[in-house]
Amino acid sequence: MIPELAVSEYRPRIADDLLASKLAHAGAVEIRGPKWCGKTETALQVASSAVMMQDQDMREANLRLAKTKPSVLLRGEKPVLIDEWQDAPQLWDAVRFAVDRERRVGAYILTGSATPHAKPSHSGAGRFSFLDMLPMSLSESGDSTGEVSLRALFEAPEDIDGCSHSDVETLAFLVSRGGWPWAVTELAGDAGLETAYDYLAAICERDISRADGVERNPQYARVILREYARVSASQAKQTTIRSDIRQRGTELSRDTVDSYIATLRKLYVIQDLPAWSPSLRAKSRITRTPTRHLCDPSVAVAALGAGPTSLLRDLPTLGLLFESLCVRDLRVYARALHGEVLHYRDESGLEADAVVSLRDGRYALFEMKLGAWEIDEGAKSLLKLSRKIDGDIMGPPSFCAVVVPGGYAYRRDDGVFVVPITCLGQ
């Protein structure tokens, strides 16, 4: 029996098609991502039966069955959804065994908002496929027109067309509200701003201790997340983060800080952007430190105790969080193209805020600029980097783009696209 959805309206997600594709070739699919990002609702659109591990009416019975006879929990009509499976890690191996025995595709969907502390005995290779989800992109939440398709940009169009009336004030609201489905579909106006604060409280006061059974101090978790928010969209080293925490008056050991950060990664709260290592025409030392990002810019806003009004008074911080919002959306759109998002920076300071790299070798370079006066600077930087890449090995970039908050989408005379994030889509 499928439980009713927690929200009154399901908005289609880009992950819908990805899930259908994975169910067509794998016995089981695990959907991973931060809590509240919509994993369960997406899975329920295709599941025929469900085991909800956090249903308090059935929790104790389900946990006992998972330990004594987990196959009972897998008997529902296929595909069976097992929600928050990490609460009973034994279910992973039970699903793997069932896939081997049944030899059918699309039989099981597992969702998880944390990496389980007790690792299963088998990786699931050959039986499981994996789908990563994030909170809603702007096109999914209806805040982007979607007129400019990332897929179409890779086809090298001569021109693009799109217009968004969003301004910096609108952007400050979207960064603060985030892409949480509950905030998007159920709450209006400023009420939606509370969801990120609630998420932060749930992570710091409960989930960071439940993740591996180690009791952790909620205040320490908030301090560490606040510092991570301050270095959003930068290549701050973890040693720098620890040092800044001490300078702000909180004495935490290296092991403590590292442990909290590791657990926040297990909860998919911290999702850094790895470095891209292209082949260059001339030797240059590339920064390997990842760019620091949280799963949604609204988490950083909440960790800083901020909101749209305070961000408008602090444009440098808004600019960094705008970059985080763009990275979130690019990650969502790139996954539909079987691509990944990385960043580039070298010893000369030359950088690309984001690089979308596809499996077939194509790639694109992005700079994010909050103000229209910065577009020329961003375009010049991207073109300089594209000339530095060894085209004989890598090929030229499919395109370069400067992403801005709103306005018109167009192709500059130098070939660089200018794309409002509120026009971008899959």
Q: Per-residue pLDDT for the chain (426 aa), expressed as one digit of tens each?
A: 454 444 457 899 999 999 999 999 999 999 999 999 999 999 999 999 999 988 788 888 888 888 889 889 899 999 999 998 888 888 999 999 999 999 899 999 999 887 765 555 555 666 899 999 999 999 999 999 999 999 999 998 888 999 999 999 999 999 999 999 999 988 778 889 999 999 999 999 999 998 888 899 999 999 999 999 999 999 999 888 888 888 887 888 889 999 999 999 999 999 999 999 998 887 788 889 999 999 999 999 999 999 999 999 999 999 999 999 999 999 999 999 999 999 999 988 899 999 999 999 999 999 999 999 999 999 999 999 999 999 889 999 999 999 999 999 999 999 999 999 999 999
Residue 85, in any domain of the structure: yes
CA–CA gap between residue 187 and residue 196 (Å, rounded):
12
Dihedrals phi, psi of 260, to nearest 5 degrees: -65, -45
Structure tokens at 370: 């909050």
- Are the CB atoms for 149 and 410 separated by under 8 Å? no
Residue 162, in any domain of the structure: yes
pLDDT at 12: 95
Residue 404, in any domain of the structure: yes
Residue 189, in any domain of the structure: yes
102, 132, 162 — which closes off a domain? 132
| pLDDT tens-place string over residues 309-322 | 999 999 999 999 99
Interhelix angle 59-68/90-102, rounded to 10 degrees, is: 60
- Are the CB atoms for 342 and 276 separated by under 8 Å? yes
Structure tokens at 246: 């001490």
Q: Which residues contact 375 (CB under 8 A, 6 or more apart)?
A: 369, 402, 404, 418
Look at the block and give the residue holding tokens 């260059």: 280
Are both 70 and 185 inside the same structural domain? no
Look at the block and give the residue holding tokens 């027109």: 145
Q: What is the CATH number of the domain that holds 34?
A: 3.40.50.300
Structure tokens at 323: 């970059």
Q: Provide the domain limits for residue 64.
A: 15-132
Are both 375 and 277 inside the same structural domain? yes
| pLDDT tens-place string over residues 13-43 | 999 999 999 999 999 999 999 999 999 999 9
Are both 201 and 83 inside the same structural domain? no
Are both 295 and 378 inside the same structural domain? yes
132, 162, 193 — which closes off a domain? 132
CA–CA gap between residue 225 and residue 233 (Å, rounded):
14
Are both 268 and 311 inside the same structural domain? yes
- Are the CB atoms for 296 and 178 separated by under 8 Å? yes
Residue 157, in any domain of the structure: yes
Structure tokens at 192: 């939606």
Q: What is the dihedral of CA 353, 357, 361, 364, to 10 degrees?
A: -40
Structure tokens at 107: 């039989």
Residue 4, in any domain of the structure: no
132, 156, 174 — which closes off a domain? 132
pLDDT at 5: 42
pLDDT at 7: 42
Q: State the pTM of this model.
A: 0.93
What are the helix (H) ranges across 338-414?
Answer: 375-388, 391-394
Q: Which residues contact 243 (CB under 8 A, 6 or more apart)?
A: none
Residue 1, in any domain of the structure: no
Please name the amino acid found at residue 249: G
Are both 57 and 169 inside the same structural domain? no
Are both 63 and 156 inside the same structural domain? no
Are both 118 and 165 inside the same structural domain? no
Residue 197, in any domain of the structure: yes
Number of domains in the chain: 2
